[in-house]
Amino acid sequence: MAFQIPRGTQDILPGEVEKWQYVEKIARDICKRYNYHEIRTPIFEHTELFLRGVGDTTDIVQKEMYTFEDRAGRSMTLRPEGTAPVVRSFVENKMYGNPNQPIKLYYIGPMFRYERPQAGRFRQFVQFGVEAIGSNDPAIDAEVIAMAMELYRSLGLKKLRLVINSLGDVETRKAHRQALIDHFKSRIHELCEDCQVRLEKNPLRILDCKKDRDHELMATAPSILDYLNDESRHYFEKVKAYLTKLGIPFEVDPRLVRGLDYYHHTTFEIMSDAEGFGAITTLCGGGRYSGLVQEIGGPETPGIGFALSIERLLAALEAEGITLPISEGIDCYVVAVGEKAKDESILLVHKLRKAGIVADKDYQDRKIKAQLKSADRLNAKFVAILGDDELAKEVINIKEMSTGEQTEVPLHSVVDYLKERLSQEG
Ligand code: HAM
């Protein structure tokens, strides 16, 4: 029986993986400039972390987690997201004691959610995310949003829409919660079973329901923005003013509640408006959280962050017809003709590689013509042709593939010669 890859996962093969590496490099460069540092946390955590962190009424916790018992009977979960693990690490490593607040962290790694796979939705996907923990300044909200926008823009994406909202503080949420209960209560039987449970436990989650999203009660539901108290309103105004100052256009959508429980104040999503991008248009989601650090056992500390998947980013690039400047191909292919030349070619590629030149040779005992074909297929810039005769004269033929021009070079200076020619090419 041939094995098949699990549903909702993918192999990222050579040819495709270079795009991932390119995007990840740009993401890391941006983090460096914004002074965010990488954190690597485990791929699995104690299940309890996500129950508390993400919220036990969310779809993620209720339906989507890969949870298993380890051999000692502990409940473990493959991380469905990165914020709760990062905050766990922040608390466990007492980063709140570091005098350099806020602590600015980023991560790139696989996340796991048992969702129904479709275009842009996987069961294993890679998130790039950032978390700035320890500041209540609305300027950091703008900074975090600017980072996400910069990643997309620097890759050439244009059809982007930034949507923001505020969920206010605890007081706001309480007043809004009551208003939601009053709004939905008498007609809750018209909504799905999940929503009926949500009404009791967490009515805000009703607004995030995938099944009842088009029900008229959703459109008429009380807007959180009408319940913001003065402090929350002022905070939101500041965030908006900073975004405007940074030249980042945005829309306000009071129905943007996000699918995780830890948010307060600013929430945001970045959508792709590119034609043909598919039904799922959200590229990136994030927001501010307070209470999460405390929930996980640390001192009351606010944070803000976002996460985006590389899968959806690459899909957006494709939808906008953007190709990344990825150089495929190698610098030099060494062609050897004759037994002695073959033995010598092993040393030559070794020397070239040590000098930083991307080099390869034949390992299939091919004839010269077939070796030249391989060089062509590998997109080699130069071919170094070594025969037993050349070897006796201690010279080698270097052919530039783009022009066909051939030069005989002394064997002892071939590394320097190629280095020089490659640096001229840039
Ligand atoms: P989220 O909205 O659940 O937020 O996910 C963030 C992003 O991860 C989405 O916008 C999307 O790009 C990607 N994503 C989520 N699920 C999938 C999937 N099944 N397949 C492909 N991509 C997916 C969070 O995870 C929060 N931790 C974000 C955050 C960080 N908030 C504060 N800090």
pLDDT surpassing 90 at residue 108: yes
Give per-residue pLDDT as tens, 76-98. Answer: 999 999 999 999 999 999 999 99
| Ligand 1 site, CB within 6 A | 81-83, 113, 115, 120-122, 125, 127, 129, 131, 259-260, 282-287, 305-309, 311-312
> For residue 277, what pLDDT is reported?
85
- Residue 117's pLDDT is 96
Mean pLDDT for 290-309 is 96
C-alpha neighbours within 13 Å on the C-beta side of residue 159:
17
Angle between helix 17-33 and 310-319 (nearest 10): 110
Quickly count: other Cβ atoms within 10 Å of residue 10's Cβ: 14
Task: Report which protein residue has its CA nearest ligand 1's atom 10.
Answer: 284
Query: Which ligand 1 atom sits nearest the alpha carbon of residue 127?
Result: 8
Q: Which atom number of ligand 1 is nearest to the Cα of residue 60?
A: 3
CA distances from 297 to 95, 200, 237 (A): 13, 26, 31
| Mutation to probe ligand 1, out of 312, 314, 317 (largest number of atoms < 8 A from CB) | 312
Ligand 1: centre distance to CA 366 (Å) = 49
Per-chain mean pLDDT for the chain: 95
Instruction: Annotate 41-109 with DSSP letters as a single string.
Output: --SEEEHHHHHHHT-TTSHIIIII-EEEE-TTS-EEEE-S-SHHHHHHHHHHTTGGG-SSPSEEEEEEE
State residue 409's pLDDT score. 97
Testing ligand 1's pocket by substitution, the residue of 127, 149, 306 carrying the most ligand atoms inside 8 A of its CB is 127
What is the mean predicted confidence (pLDDT) over 343-353? Answer: 97
Name which residue sits closest to atom 16 of ligand 1, judged by CA.
Answer: 121
Between 425 and 296, name the one with better pLDDT.
Answer: 296
CA of 185 to the centre of ligand 1 (A): 30
- Confidence band for 280, pLDDT divided at 50, 70 and 90: confident
Span from the CA of 149 to the centroid of ligand 1 (angstroms): 15
Q: Which tokens hold the place of 177?
A: 């919660």
* Distance in angstroms (rounded) separating the CA atoms of residues 29 and 292: 28
189-232 pLDDT, tens digit each = 999 999 999 998 889 989 988 899 899 999 999 999 999 999 99
Q: Exposed (0-12), middle (13-18) or buried (19+): which is 35, by Cβ within 10 Å?
A: exposed
Does the pLDDT at position 313 exceed 90? yes
CA distance 408 to 396: 6
> Taking every pair of C-alpha atoms in the chain, what is the biggest distance, in angstroms?
96
Mean pLDDT over 311-328 rounds to: 94
426 confidence band (pLDDT: 50, 70, 90)? low
Is 399's pLDDT higher than 90? yes
User: How far is it, in rounded angstroms, from Cα 375 to Cα 331?
Assistant: 10
Which of 65, 111, 208, 210 for a ligand 1 pocket mutation test, highest count of atoms within 8 Å of Cβ?
111
Segment 107-119 shows an average pLDDT of 97
Cα-Cα-Cα-Cα torsion 195, 196, 201, 206, nearest 10 degrees, comes to 20
Ligand 1 atom closest to 289 (CA): 32
User: 273 or 257: whose pLDDT is higher?
Assistant: 273
Amino acid at 349: V
Tell me the pLDDT band of 258, cut-offs 50, 70 and 90. Answer: confident
Residue whose entry in the numeric block shows the structure tokens 């409940």: 75
Of the residues 306, 310, 314, which should be mutated to test ligand 1's pocket, given the most ligand atoms within 8 Å of the CB?
306
Atom of ligand 1 nearest to the CA of 131: 33
pLDDT value for 147: 98
* CA–centroid distance, residue 158 to ligand 1 (Å): 21
- Tens of pLDDT, residue by residue over 19-67, are 999 999 999 999 999 999 999 999 999 999 999 999 988 889 999 999 9
Q: How far is the CA of 215 from the centre of ligand 1 (A)?
A: 25
Q: Is the pLDDT of residue 109 over 80?
A: yes
Determine which of 195-209, 319-333, 341-355, 388-402 has the lowest per-residue pLDDT on average. Answer: 195-209
The full length of the chain comes to 426
Closest CA to 324 of 132, 156, 102: 156
